[in-house]
Amino acid sequence: MFKAHRDLNMRLDLEVISSLVTPRARVLDLGCGDGSFLRHLRNDRGAEVLGLEIDPALVGRCIANNVPVVQWDFSTPLSFLEEKSFDLVILSQTLQETKEPDKLLQEIVRIGKLAAVSVINFAHFSCRFQLMFRGEMPRTPQIPYHWYDTPNIHLSTIDDFRKLCCELGFEIREEIPIPARFPRLSKLYPNFFAVGGVFLLKAK
Amino acid sequence: MNIRFETAGTLNADGSNAILIIHALTGDAHVCGKHSPEDKKPGWWDTMIGPGKGIDTNKYFVICSNVLGGCSGTTGPLSTDPDTGKPYNLTFPVITVADMVKAQKALIDHLGIKKLLAVVGGSMGGMQVLEWAVSYPDMMKCVIPIATTTRMSAQGIAFDWIGREAIQSDPQWHGGNYRENAANPARGLGVARMIAHITYLSDESMTRKFGRNLQNKESYSFDFAHDFAVESYLEYQGQKFVERFDANCYCYITRATDYFDLTAHANGNLVKALENVMADFLVVSFSSDWLFPPADSHELVRALLRNKKKVTYSNVISGYGHDAFLLEVDTLGSMIRDFLANQMQEVENV
């Protein structure tokens, strides 16, 4: 499972999110996997953490990792979490799997003083080339699935995501492109060269 | 007052490895192991507790006592009223879950334990776990309420009512003084158990176990004797129960669960009732439990989160219904083992 956060070093977006966490911050990770990222945030960044995870097996591994976790299907309302009750709400490469990404975004911006969302860029040149020259659904290290077995039902591009954030009236505090190979070009033309992006969002 | 209890494992030098296990409605103090090798059955949670098991008695000191009002050694309706020299029967005061917890607190004080590592229990045991966390917030590092609720539902109260009605309408009931009349409302108690037993199962588990199978016959008898396997099974459960349990105790203990409402600590406000808890929580529910359904645990978890308490919640996917808390040994065992190990580590690090 790619969300197991096992190779923290391999996930540049998680490094970026980690750098956004201040000591003693209350951090909520939606779709926290086995909790190893939250464990890192607590042990190395001094955060107070909570994870939500739908998969019972991964919940068990969070417990082993000593990370507080609530087994929850967050396509059901998160209304029990109070407004601004967390300093940072994290959604890392999870949005594309959710049924109503726009509603979920509104929820996390409500719950968190800030929200860090890591999105996969479907407009990365590798995806574009696979579609254009091979005529096949793109597969990349970020989206390694076949069209028939993918959990990703709402993939977007960086530009798409930015547009949605504007439509929903969020303030985009920061936008950090996640490069695979061309860091400078990724900064200049993220929607073509970056494999993903981390957005730091806030309710206006 | 008398309290029967059993222990397993050894209390460590600083007394930091003690775990209180609380039994469910009809359990007793005999929680694990066998008293003698000839015993037919080990303690009621032997699959979970013992050397190398989920709650490892090589590491932890485990305590389990029979609840107040019980019929397995602790003071209850069967005990002798010192004023009359006769058994209390129905003159025993109606007790609450909070009373049961007070009795356990007296035991823990008696044992000289300043702070428990954990308080663990399922079903009615889980109610007491919650009561512990609210009433004595600094007495434990963590709590593990399993397959339980913060307040008895109308459905739960309804089943308890029918159970007691079955007992009290048995001609041998004699207003609770059946012993003095050389009688026993065994049929009533058996029926009460059969009804309750259904609430511990699920449609799925009953279908899987019995379906429409017939018991030792090829075709329907077209009378009212046992035809179906499920009928024989319930009858057997009822009979077995009558041999080990007392009708008055059953009335008193079920009544205590009816009255259980954690929100009574704060005028019906669960969030406020949990305001002062200090323990870390591991809340566990089971997907097919319809007696204390996952929604009840959700309510607890939400209220704890509102209070910014440290809480972990797992809803175990299981077809066993309420009984899953005794049957899902592997899943529950590894969760509890890991959780306790981390809690113990935190205690040692302080």
Range 306-345 of B in CB contact (< 8 A) with A = 306, 308, 310-317, 331, 334-335, 338-339, 342, 345
Residues above pLDDT 70, as percent of chain A: 95
10 Å CB burial of residue B203 (0-12, 13-18, 19+) is: exposed
Q: Please give the positions of B annotated as active site.
A: 123, 289, 322
Range 124-183 of A in CB contact (< 8 A) with B = none
Annotated domain spans of chain B:
5-152+262-349, 156-255
Name residue B196's beta-bridge partners: none
Range 84-113 of A in CB contact (< 8 A) with B = 85
Q: How far apart are CA B204 and CA B181, in angstroms?
A: 43
Indicate yes or no: CB of A70 within 8 angstroms of CB of B335.
Answer: no
Name residue A71's beta-bridge partners: A53
Question: By the 8 A CB rule, do B286 and B321 touch?
Answer: yes
pLDDT at A10: 59
Indicate yes or no: CB of B311 within 8 angstroms of CB of A70.
Answer: yes
In tens digits, what is the pLDDT along chain A, a chain of 204 residues?
334 444 555 589 999 999 999 999 999 999 999 999 999 999 999 999 999 999 999 999 999 999 999 999 877 888 889 999 999 999 999 999 999 999 999 999 999 999 999 999 999 999 999 999 999 999 999 999 999 999 999 999 999 999 999 999 999 999 999 999 999 999 999 999 999 999 999 998
**Which residue, chain included where needed, has tokens 């939400």?**
B302
Q: How far apart are CA A173 and CA A163, in angstroms?
A: 14
Average the pLDDT over B201-220 and give the result. Answer: 96
Indicate yes or no: CB of A56 within 8 angstroms of CB of B314.
Answer: yes
pLDDT at A5: 41
Q: Which of B268, B338, B325 is nearest to B125 (CA)?
A: B325
| Candidates A56, A63, A82; nearest CB to B312 | A63
Residue A72 touches partner B, C-beta closer than 8 Å: yes
Residues above pLDDT 70, as percent of chain B: 100
pLDDT at B300 over 50: yes
What per-residue string of b and e applies to B321-350 under the rule 16 or more CB within 10 Å gives b?
A: bbbbbbbbeebbbebbbbbbebbbeeeeee
Q: How far apart are CA B29 and CA B100, in angstroms?
A: 13
Residue A49 touches partner B, C-beta closer than 8 Å: no
Q: Which segments within chain B are labelled E, that is strand?
A: 5-8, 18-22, 49-50, 55-56, 61-65, 80-81, 86-87, 116-122, 140-146, 280-286, 311-316
Q: Which of B108, B112, B116 is nearest to B5 (CA)?
A: B108
pLDDT at A8: 53
Residue A71 touches partner B, C-beta closer than 8 Å: yes
Range 257-286 of B in CB contact (< 8 A) with A = 280, 282
Structure tokens at B149: 């609720």
From residue A25, alpha-carbon distances to A11, A203, B23 in Å are 22, 18, 39
Indicate yes or no: CB of A56 within 8 angstroms of CB of B315.
Answer: yes
Mutate to test the interface with B, among A70, A74, A76 (most CBs of B within 10 A): A70
Domain B5-152+262-349 in this protein, CATH class: alpha beta
Q: How far apart are CA A186 and CA A179, in angstroms?
A: 6
User: What CATH code is assigned to A2-203?
Assistant: 3.40.50.150
Residue A43 touches partner B, C-beta closer than 8 Å: no
From chain A, the residues in CB contact with B317 under 8 A are 56
Strands B61-65 and B5-8: antiparallel
Quote the minimal CA–CA distance from A152 to chain B in Å.
24
From chain A, the residues in CB contact with B316 under 8 A are 56
Indicate yes or no: CB of A80 within 8 angstroms of CB of B305.
Answer: yes
Indicate yes or no: CB of A70 within 8 angstroms of CB of B313.
Answer: yes
Q: How far apart are CA A173 and CA A114, in angstroms?
A: 9
For B32-88, write each residue's pLDDT tens digit: 999 999 999 999 999 999 999 999 999 999 999 999 999 999 999 999 999 999 999
User: Does the B156-255 domain belong in CATH 1.10.1740.110?
Assistant: yes
Query: What values do phi and psi take at A100, rounded to 5?
Result: -130, 75
Indicate yes or no: CB of B312 within 8 angstroms of CB of A70.
Answer: yes
For B87-140, write each residue's pLDDT tens digit: 999 999 999 999 999 999 999 999 999 999 999 999 999 999 999 999 999 999
Q: Which of B314, B147, B54 is nearest to A56 (CA)?
A: B314
Q: How far apart are CA B253 and CA B251, in angstroms?
A: 6
Annotated domain spans of chain A:
2-203
Mutate to test the interface with A, among B299, B312, B332 (most CBs of A within 10 A): B312
From chain A, the residues in CB contact with B308 under 8 A are 26, 85
Average the pLDDT over B163-176 and give the result. Answer: 98
- A7 Cβ partners below 8 Å, 6+ apart? none
Indicate yes or no: CB of B317 within 8 angstroms of CB of A56.
Answer: yes
Q: How many residues does chain B have?
A: 350
Structure tokens at B11: 């209390």
Average pLDDT of chain B, as a whole number: 97
Helix (H), strand (E) at residue B92: none
| Candidates B308, B310, B338; nearest CB to A64 | B338
**Which residue, chain included where needed, has tokens 């109503």?**
A100
User: Helix, strand, coil: what percent of chain B each, to 5?
Assistant: 45, 15, 40
Structure tokens at B288: 């097919």
Residue A80 touches partner B, C-beta closer than 8 Å: yes
